[in-house]
Amino acid sequence: MELRQPSSAEEAVGLLGNGHVALAGGTEIVPLLRDGLLRADALIDIRRAVPRGIHGTTIGAGTTLAELEVDPGIPVVLREACRLAASPQLRAMGSIGGNLLQATRCWYWRLDFPCYLHGGDRCHAKDGRHDEHAIFGNDVCASAHPSDVAAALLALGTMLRTTARELPLAELYRLPTTDDPQTTTLADDELILELEVPIPEASVYLKAMDRQRWSFPIVGVAAARTAGEVRLGLAGVAPVPWTLTSVDDLDRATPLPGTAYKLPIARALVARALRAVATG
Amino acid sequence: MADAPQRARGEAQYTADVLLPGMLHAALLRSPHAYARVKKIDVRRALEAPGVHAAVGPEDVEALTDEPGFFGAPVAAIAANTVEQARAALELIDVEWEPLEPLLDPDEAVRRGQLTDEPRRNERGDFERALADADVVVEGEYRTQVVLHNPLETHQSVCRWEGDTLEIYTSTQYIWGIRSRVAKQLGVEPDNVRVVCNYMGGGFGAKNDPGEYTYVAAELARRTGRPVKCALTRREENLAAGNRNATIQRLTVGARSDGTITALGGEFVNAVGWDGWIAPTDGPMQTLYHCENVRTVTYGAKINTAPMKAFRAPGYVEGTFGLECLLDELAARLDVDPLELRRKNYAHSSNERPYSSKNLMECYRRAEPHWERRHELRTRSDSTWKYGAGLASQIWYGGGGPPSYAWTRVGSDGRITVITAMQDIGTGTRTAMAQIAAEELGVPLDRVRVELGDSARGPFASISAGSSTTPSMGPAVRAAAADAKRQIIEIAAQRHHLEERVLDISDGNVVSADGNLSSPLEEIVGLLENAQILGKGARGPNPTGMQVLTFGVQVAEVAVDVETGEVRVLRVAAIHDVGRVINPLGASSQVEGGIIQGIGHTLSEQRLLDPATGTVLTQSLDAYRLPTIADVPEIVCELIDKPDEHLTNLGSKGLGEPPIVPIAAAIANAIRDATGADIHSLPITREEMLRALEAAKQKQRGAPAAV
């Protein structure tokens, strides 16, 4: 397989698409290639094309989670989301831009069952085991989005700058439909370059997982109070990172038999998060 | 550790490190169906793929099947220059499958009579009558899940034919078992099979047998005339390399109001899988407490899942979870202290045969200060986090037995080599054997080297399973050391014109009782020049008419977040009675390892299947959740360390398995103490914890109405 190493974003964009796949830290792309879930004719190493580092409220998309978790200028909610994600080895490699684009951990998808996300005609998890799956947005696909970081960034009201546009983070995502399995709106030849992350007055990230470390969220709850207004972002509860506009949104959850237990966890963590940012 | 430098420097050679000149790599085609027939299989396209040398199918190797009964069953294999080429060629094997309807429900298998074996019934006394006469009866249904061994080194073998002799480098718990099984299967003389296992990266019971990877490597090596390695990938390891089978346990206890247990009954369904044996899930109920009326039946359900294999105290881990949770529910019903309940029903002598030694009462006594901590612990509870403590007892085998042999060789430099064709499965065996020889011979530990791991270079040695390595091998090594010592003293007596009975060896010197002689060992054996002293030792018999068992108790402290179902194990005190302890550091390490592995079994590990197809969903280690170091509690290890005076010349029992036996029940009982919720199912995921809390709430609401 060919590896290209462009030195600018413009050059990278020119190379992307048509089976050419962007590679940053490799913690997502390499396992997907190995498992045959992603096919690539060439890998485009974007590490010289995408900004890396923290400048005030601007974060380069190539910044690693390890760099973010130790930076005192980064809001608590984001630092915690980074710290509680993956393992130190993975955080030392994984970039924040790549983290936002990671695929679901749904075991059916990972085992290449012909589900909606693979262009098939059903969600195997709904009829089968869906212990780790969605309680929101699961009309079509019941997968859960695994990114802790995305939930934190949603709560912070993050704006993204890509090679093509500027957009609120929420608009990066779309729920998959029966005729379109995409979960993001990013084009094949579009790169996330920078994140603009407002500094909140108070913020917190709470995460329920199966063990104390190195586990994807059962439910992750991010809360941030910015200009007196509290925003909530949730991880592990829907096919995409999920925004709660109010606590009442929890009443509109659509849990499956095997995911019903996630709802009380979400309620408890949301209540705790709201208490934490009310005073913090 | 005697072999720490080798391990730290990377010089310890595991099977995974074996690279022989011209070696090929094998890959296995595994069934994508939980149940199917292979109607047609054609390897011709695969044989033409780059780097491929040979292919074998169900007709060539008995361990390959044309009627796979579980997802991942081995069907065919390819040998190629590289493992990547072999795997790529698997895609080119043309198979016509006829998928069949899989049966995955163990209860349904029992209903249909689809069993691996006759149901095992054990009965004494009159259970029904005792139950009818009981003041209180508690019943419960308990479930345990399938968990996977996940040794660090996956199952693998390298096979090479030298003329009519087959060399097998393999990751195994039983060198001699591999030798005889492979010889029988291939129709060659056992002496023409050499098995080598210098270092191995863990087995936990899953590496007692040759496995398909060995047979496949042997056949591919025969066909190609080249050495062949067949190593399972981590995913294959999680599919088809063995597991602890799931169980369903329907249990009953009857007792008098003073807490005396009068009746115990259990129906156990072991979800054995497509093949395997019925582990003694009823063992703890039959043996842990004094009870005259016990009735158990154990079914081996044959279902379309991967075969079970022995896994660190098979049956007893599962059965102890059920029984010891039931006991605590009885204690709660009678409002008696759980520790007192266990003392009250202490089995002083076995129902069949006396124990060679039993210090469980002493374990209980030493548990008291740990158990007392629960009062202070509970006061830490607030509206969210609830704290509590629980305990559970342990009974298991671990006596080892004959035959096993060892040799000692004392060179003219006064250095000692222990030689025996046993295996060290990562439990510190080299160190323990060196300690035993050094102590018996009266020399410093660093004078002793242990050579093991090769059936062609040492005498027969026992399996490393059933916590038997130290109690089986240690006595043979001690006897071999004593034999060498006797010869050395004989020489010294002749040389110095002293009686043998006044001589001894101490700290590397031959000394006389009056202190007049203190001669370095090498001066005495140096007289032999190039000749050497050879000692021989055999493992003596176990005491006639006695049961050799291990005992213990563990006290767990937990915190439970009652809103989110999070369970944290804070502290575990483990008190075990395993006879004489050889290496205290190695022993506490076994205890810690058992408890950590048991915490995985209790809280986070489970192999999940797609209910429609039987596909294993948890094939990778991000889906199958082993505990990490962050999940490890404070572990306090106390060993009674009292030699079993009836047990051979060593008095040591095994410790590999006992620590994992009671941990699940101790944690579940601690959860009840903290929250009032009864745990009936493993693992205790958030879902299970929240369900149990909700059930407890309903029960509490319902209770006044029922009075």
CATH of the domain at B203: 3.90.1170.50
- Are residues B325 and B434 located together in one domain of the fold? no
- Are residues B640 and B704 located together in one domain of the fold? yes
Range of the domain at B9: 4-100+160-231
Domain C-terminal end among B314, B329, B347:
B347
CB B567 within 8 A of CB B631: no
Query: Quick one: which of A197, A89, A213, A193 has its CA closest to A149?
Result: A197
Task: Please tell me which of the candidates B565, B619, B620 has its beta carbon nearest to residue A265.
Answer: B565
Q: Is the model's pLDDT at A279 over the cut of 90?
A: no
Q: Is the residue at A25 inside a domain? A: no
B608 near A CB under 8 A: yes
Chain B residue with Cα closest to A129:
B610
Contact check, Cβ <8 Å, B608/A131: yes
CA distance B155 to A169: 46
Contact check, Cβ <8 Å, B623/A105: yes
| Contacting residues of A for B691, CB less than 8 Å apart | 261
Give pLDDT tens digits for B209-256: 999 999 999 999 999 999 999 999 999 999 999 999 999 999 999 999
Query: Quick one: which of A231, A228, A229 has its CA closest to A270?
Result: A231
To the nearest whole angstrom, how far is the Cα of B85 from the nearest Cα of chain A? 14
Specify the pLDDT at position B704.
56
Q: Is the residue at B238 inside a domain? A: no
Helix (H, G, I), strand (E, B) or coil at B268: strand
Among B607, B622, B681, B697, pick the best mutation site for testing chain A contact (most A Cβ within 10 A).
B622
To the nearest whole angstrom, how far is the Cα of B603 from the nearest Cα of chain A? 8
| Contacting residues of B for A125, CB less than 8 Å apart | none
Task: Please tell me which of the candidates A208, A213, A216 has its beta carbon nearest to residue B628.
Answer: A213
Q: Is the residue at A5 inside a domain? A: no
Task: Please tell me which of the candidates B615, B627, B690 has its beta carbon nearest to residue A111.
Answer: B615
Q: Is the residue at A8 inside a domain? A: no
Q: Is the residue at B639 inside a domain? A: yes
B300 near A CB under 8 A: no
Contact check, Cβ <8 Å, A129/B608: yes
Task: Please tell me which of the candidates A108, A124, A213 has its beta carbon nearest to residue B630.
Answer: A213
CATH of the domain at A97: 3.30.465.10
Residues 6+ apart with CB under 8 A from B551: B358, B359, B360, B363, B393, B394, B395, B576, B577, B658
Chains A & B: contacts with CB separation below 8 Å: 74
Chain B residue with Cα closest to A269:
B564
Q: Is the residue at B433 inside a domain? A: yes
Q: Is the residue at A37 inside a domain? A: no
A122 near B CB under 8 A: no
- Other CB atoms closer than 10 Å to residue B482's CB: what's the count? 17
Orientation angle between helical segments B686-706 and B663-675, nearest 10 degrees? 50
- Are residues B455 and B386 located together in one domain of the fold? no
Domain C-terminal end among B538, B571, B597:
B538
| Contacting residues of B for A218, CB less than 8 Å apart | 686
Specify the pLDDT at position A280.
56
B350 near A CB under 8 A: no
CA distance B122 to B265: 10
- pTM score of the predicted model: 0.97
Domain C-terminal end among B538, B553, B570:
B538
Specify the pLDDT at position A213.
94
Contact check, Cβ <8 Å, B603/A211: yes
Q: Is the residue at A169 inside a domain? A: yes
Give pLDDT tens digits for A196-254: 999 999 999 999 999 999 999 999 999 999 999 999 999 999 999 999 999 999 999 99
- Are residues B462 and B480 located together in one domain of the fold? yes
Task: Please tell me which of the candidates B566, B610, B620 has its beta carbon nearest to residue A128.
Answer: B610
- Are residues B296 and B193 located together in one domain of the fold? no
Specify the pLDDT at position B1.
74
Looking at the DSSP bridge assignments, the partners of residue B386 are B560
Tokens (6 digits) for A211: 């063990």
B 677-706 near A (Cβ less than 8 A): 685-687, 690-691
Q: What is the 3-state secondary structure (H, E, C) of B552-584?
A: EEEEEEEEEECCCCEEEEEEEEEEEECECCCCH
Looking at the structure of chain A, the number of domains it has is: 1
Q: Is the residue at A177 inside a domain? A: yes
Helix (H, G, I), strand (E, B) or coil at B400: coil
Among B624, B626, B686, B690, pick the best mutation site for testing chain A contact (most A Cβ within 10 A).
B686
Contact check, Cβ <8 Å, B620/A269: no
Specify the pLDDT at position B400.
96
To the nearest whole angstrom, how far is the Cα of B631 from the nearest Cα of chain A? 6
- Are residues B333 and B361 located together in one domain of the fold? no
Chain A residue with Cα closest to B566:
A208
CATH of the domain at B323: 3.30.365.10
Q: Is the residue at A19 inside a domain? A: no
| Contacting residues of A for B615, CB less than 8 Å apart | 111
Helix (H, G, I), strand (E, B) or coil at B177: helix
CA distance B582 to A52: 56
Which residue in this structure is represented by tokens 């399972």? B232
Task: Please tell me which of the candidates A211, A261, A265 has its beta carbon nearest to residue B631.
Answer: A211
A212 near B CB under 8 A: yes
Chain A residue with Cα closest to B689:
A261
For all residues of chain B together, what is the average pLDDT?
Answer: 97
Specify the pLDDT at position B700.
87
| Contacting residues of B for A129, CB less than 8 Å apart | 608-611, 617
B 131-150 near A (Cβ less than 8 A): none
Query: Quick one: which of A131, A125, A88, A256 has its CA closest to B625?
Result: A131
A205 near B CB under 8 A: no
Range of the domain at A262: 50-277
Contact check, Cβ <8 Å, B617/A107: yes
Specify the pLDDT at position B706.
42
Q: Is the residue at B236 inside a domain? A: no
- Other CB atoms closer than 10 Å to residue B531's CB: what's the count? 10
Chain B residue with Cα closest to A263:
B564
- Are residues B508 and B550 located together in one domain of the fold? no
A270 near B CB under 8 A: no
Q: Is the residue at A35 inside a domain? A: no
Chain A residue with Cα closest to B631:
A212
Q: Is the residue at B56 inside a domain? A: yes
B359 class by beta-carbon count within 10 Å (0-12 exposed, 13-18 middle, 19+ buried) = buried
To the nearest whole angstrom, how far is the Cα of B63 from the nearest Cα of chain A? 26
Contact check, Cβ <8 Å, A216/B690: no
Q: Is the residue at B152 inside a domain? A: no
- Are residues B575 and B696 located together in one domain of the fold? yes
Looking at the structure of chain B, the number of domains it has is: 4
A124 near B CB under 8 A: yes
Task: Please tell me which of the candidates A107, A128, A210 has its beta carbon nearest to residue B604.
Answer: A210
DSSP secondary structure, B512-562, as one string: ETTSS-EEEHHHHHGGGTT--EEEEEEPPPPPTT-B--EEEEEEEEEEEET
Task: Please tell me which of the candidates A111, A210, A261 has its beta carbon nearest to residue B625.
Answer: A210
Q: Is the residue at B237 inside a domain? A: no
Looking at the DSSP bridge assignments, the partners of residue A3 are A43
Among A89, A104, A211, pick the best mutation site for testing chain B contact (most B Cβ within 10 A).
A211
- Are residues B419 and B489 located together in one domain of the fold? yes
- Which residue type sits at B555? V
What residue ranges of chain B have pLDDT lower than 50?
705-707
A112 near B CB under 8 A: no
CA distance A129 to A131: 6
Q: Is the model's pLDDT at A27 over the cut of 90?
A: yes
Specify the pLDDT at position B546.
94
- Are residues B393 and B505 located together in one domain of the fold? no
- Are residues B127 and B249 located together in one domain of the fold? yes
Q: To 5 degrees, how large is the angle CA A110–CA B64–CA B102? A: 55
- Are residues B573 and B685 located together in one domain of the fold? yes
Among A123, A261, A272, pick the best mutation site for testing chain B contact (most B Cβ within 10 A).
A261
